[in-house]
Structure 1
Amino acid sequence: TMSSVLASARCFVHGVILNGDGSGTELKSDPEPNQRLWIHLDYSENDCADTLKSLGLPDNIIESLVRVSTRPRTLAEKEGFLVFLRAVNLNPGDEPDDMVSLRVWLEPDRLITVRQRRVYSIQDIRKELDAGKGSKTIHELFICLVERLADRISEYVDNMEEKLAAFEENVDDFNVSQVRTEVSSLRRQVASVRRYLAPQRDALESFYRLSRNSLEERLVYELHEQTDRTVRYVEDLDLVKERCMVLQEELMNLIAQEQNARMYVLSVVAAIFLPISFVTGLFGMNVAGLPGVEDPTAFILVAGSMGTIVVGILLYFKFKRWV
């Protein structure tokens, strides 16, 4: 039986029968023909393809569900919809921008989700079903899944915007080199997330177009709202990217100003000591005929003339407003 096959499969994570009242019952026996079923599998296990085949899925669908690398997209088949999504990676030790692949096979009365790494949005939905506050139908369950994925993405995008805003407001208080490193890392994260979020926007828009005639009106509205949310997050990431570029330019300007200030000080010092160095070099030559060699007041006269030169240069710089 299906329940015994799933129970013995290493790839089986959980199975839930929707009761139609917002609650779910753990799959322990074969469901009735009219019952709504949600099966969650781990495609990293070797028996995942065989398990999917025992569930009656076509070979081309199985191949797509267990493929190693995927990008978000939607495919409409005779039996249902194949949807590839991405979720923010919140697993301990992993980077959030290393987004987790979630593959979905959607039928009118059955939902099969397949992943390799843990998806916390799936856990959120399972808790809602256990508490009796979850989805009542399979289509509603899928829309709820999309919403929970969007909630996690929203938290991640908001966190990135807060970090960037902190850098922008206190750019003068931070170490410039450290801020440059942080902003560069932020730009890489934005690029990594947008790489999958932009196709996910297109995938949801495609699913909306293909399924709106078969969904309830309220679900069509909810799906449209979630699609719009994803579009906004892509736009927010684009804005974060632009703000990062502006901040990096500002940091480069600060570095350039600091370097110019140091070079200016060195130039002023060089301008002051250049004529003095000429005088000391001239009177320091060991040749006969130098004036004042026998005069005891000659040193005082030379030193006084060099002091006068320094004062004259400083007054000239002050007149020109260079110091």
Structure 2
Amino acid sequence: MTNGFVYCLWLSGEKAGQSLDTESLRQWTPEQGCIWVHLNYHAKEAREWLQGSDLPGLEIDALLSRDTRPRALANESGILLALRGVNLNPDSAPEDMVALRLYADKHRIISACRRELQSVKQLAAQIVSKTGPATPSEFILSLCDKLTLIKTDFINSLEEKVDDLEEQIVTGNSRDVRNEIAELRRQTVMVRRYLAPQREAFAALQTETGHLFKKSEQLRMREIRDRLTRAIEDLDALKDRASVTHEELMSRQSEELNQRLYFLSLVTAIFLPLGFLTGLLGVNIGGIPGADTPWAFALFCVILVVLVLLQLWLFYRKRWL
């Protein structure tokens, strides 16, 4: 196969787990067994193959669409899905979620994705080892399950990061924490943006696909949807914790700033009378007391020390220190 065809595998039949070549794909009929074709929709050959297939125009446009939101559409012929998965590719941001488009009927699955998706790789490995799904409905369930599991693991990693940030603030080691909190809040917002519509897509799969899903498979889809709902709730709680952590950080920084300003105010209050006296006695005019007395300067220093001690005592009595 060319680069546009990432995976092209038999799900059932005598050749289950094996790859299809170009000729086998062209001559495929439903009686031979279920197949899965995974495309890189950005490749020219994949786009040409889709446009020359027998799929309706709506499904072809959806599979080739560049910007999609999670959704599920079911009709008499099959199911059209648009899902999102966590981006685990090297040097990529996990919250930059990968879009996956999928069309499935009773005998075939056609999926399209531009970037690599870990859930798809895991499914392909299971199918090749003959431990994966054998029907389109099982394939969809397995895919949704793996996508949800990876999202849950990612949210758990975010929770661990929040725990570390909270500990840093409590221990006072809060340097550069504000940037990390801002990045964490940005990640939660971006992930939350796609999880809610994906939950609705799972709900549509659960209730609108009786022609493809068995009753037991609908119940399993409900469990997957419930797990995604819990993940969304955890993400909402994570967002609230990040907000509280940010507020605590701002409060601590404000408190530290107030303490410094308070200390400077006390220093100013102590040296204000001292500066007044030294400025008064430093004027260059006649009549300054003690100008001709040798011990006048020492006495003046003693008076200043006593004045400082009196101010400190007064501040202590008023609980300003």
Question: What is the TM-score with the length of structure 1 in the denominator?
Answer: 0.93
Secondary structure in 1 aligned to 2:166? helix
CA deviations 1:175-208 (Å, max 9, x no partner) are 4241111110000011111111111111111221
Alignment of structure 1 residues 1-323 onto 2, 5 Å: 7=1, 10-19=3-12, 24-28=17-21, 29=24, 30-34=27-31, 35-173=33-171, 175-212=173-210, 214-323=212-321
SS at match of 1:25: coil
Using the TM superposition, name which of 247-256 and 196-205 deviates more.
196-205
- Whether contact under 8 Å (2:9, 2:16) holds in the other structure is no
Distance in 2 between the 1:50 and 1:58 partners? 14
Q: Is the 8 A contact 2:106 2:212 kept in 1?
A: no
How many residue pairs get matched? 316
Q: CA deviation at 1:139?
A: 0.5
Q: Which amino acid aligns with 1:80?
A: G
Cα RMSD (Å)? 1.8
Structure 1 letter corresponding to 2:155: V
Post-superposition offset of 1:31: 3.6
4+ long deviations beyond 3 Å: 20-23, 172-175
Could you list the runs of 5+ residues in structure 1 that have no partner in the other structure? 1-6
2:206/2:219 contact within 8 Å kept: no
Deviates more, 1:309-318 or 1:208-217: 208-217
Q: Match for 2:10: what amino acid?
A: I
What is the percentage of aligned positions where both structures have the same residue? Answer: 37
Cα distance, 1:22–1:215 mapped onto 2, change above 3 Å: farther
**Is the 1:16–1:24 contact (alpha carbons within 8 Å) kept by the matching residues of 2?**
yes
Contact 1:23 1:134 in 2 (8 A): no
1:322 is displaced (CA, Å) by 1.6
The offset of 1:297, in angstroms, is: 2.3
Does the 8 A contact of 1:20 with 1:137 survive in 2?
no
Counterpart-to-counterpart distance in 2, 1:12 and 1:70:
21
Contact 1:97 1:192 in 2 (8 A): yes
CA shift in 2, pair 1:231/1:21, >3 Å: farther
Between the aligned partners of 2:271 and 2:242, the Cα distance in structure 1 is 44
Q: Residues 81-110 of structure 1: CA distance to partner in whole angstroms, max 9, x if unpaired? A: 111000101111111100000001010111
Shift of 1:170: 3.2
What is the letter of the counterpart of residue 239 of structure 1?
Answer: A
**Where does residue 4 of structure 1 map in the other structure?**
none
